Amino acid sequence: MTVFVVCHGAWSAGWAWKKVRPLVQQAGHQIFIPTYSGLGERAHLSAPTITLDTHIQDVVSLLFYEDLYDVVLVGHSYGGMVATGVADKTRERIARLIYVDAFVPQNGQSLNDLVSKDDRAKRVSMTAAQGDSWLLAPNPTPADTSHADITWITARRRWQPIGTFNQPIALQHLDLEIPRSYIYCTRKTSDDPFGKFAAAAKSDPRWSYYDIDASHSPNVTAPDELVRILLSIAAGKA
């Protein structure tokens, strides 16, 4: 049995992986998808003091209180920032890291360091227009998302504290000897901040690399294929 722990993306929460959860469980494995402070069912805890460290600690605490070891840690999108920090703090609990169309930061980098100037400016403009200087508005939903899924997602996404994008990650263990995989979503129609991480993983023999024919959130639009790849990686069969 494999134990998966998912670090979800920005503006999202555990609810966004509801299509994936039963598929993993039906295959005989466990999956935990902790919701970060200030999002999803924890939106009432949102505050200007929430940073990347807060979200890293949310997941670190889950690993401790659930007493989890040999974990396959999955980071999606912004969750790549979180997963990297979690692995750094709890390396003894992590068996493998899987990045799903995710940021892969180096020590001292924030998420805002990893996106284009235009993207940063767009976020600042949207934030200023709403009058909440400490909250960031969600990105648009990918165009191939079904109408039913858009309705489901739109009602549940929440603005995210800006400190989670601004705070640089602080890593103590710069050469983690943990097997790593990258799953790159190939359906892209606009600015793609993840292509450079996919290319780096594809060319690095220390990584295993996979494509998925999906837009940025395969947990929503292609859950069956995503689970197939995750299970194959965990089993060493991909």
pTM (two decimals): 0.95
CA-closest candidate to residue 80, choices 47, 48, 115, 46:
115
Give 67-99 pLDDT, tens digit per residue: 999 999 999 999 999 999 999 999 999 999 999
> Residue 203 catalytic?
no
Domain of 162 in residue numbering reads as: 3-235
The active-site residue, picked from 77, 110, 181, 217, is: 77
Q: What is the DSSP letter of 43?
A: G
Provide the CATH number for the domain around residue 224: 3.40.50.1820
The full 3-state SS of 70-132, as one line of letters, equals CEEEEEECCHHHHHHHHHHHCHHHEEEEEEECCCCCCCCCCHHHHCCHHHHHHHHHHHHHHCC
Give 84-142 pLDDT, tens digit per residue.
999 999 999 999 999 999 999 999 999 999 998 887 777 777 665 565 688 998 988 98
Number of domains composing the chain: 1
Q: What angle do CA 119, 124, 125 make, to 5 degrees?
A: 95
Quote the CA–CA distance of 120 and 177 in Å, as a whole number: 33
Tens of pLDDT, residues 5-33: 999 999 999 999 999 999 999 999 999 99
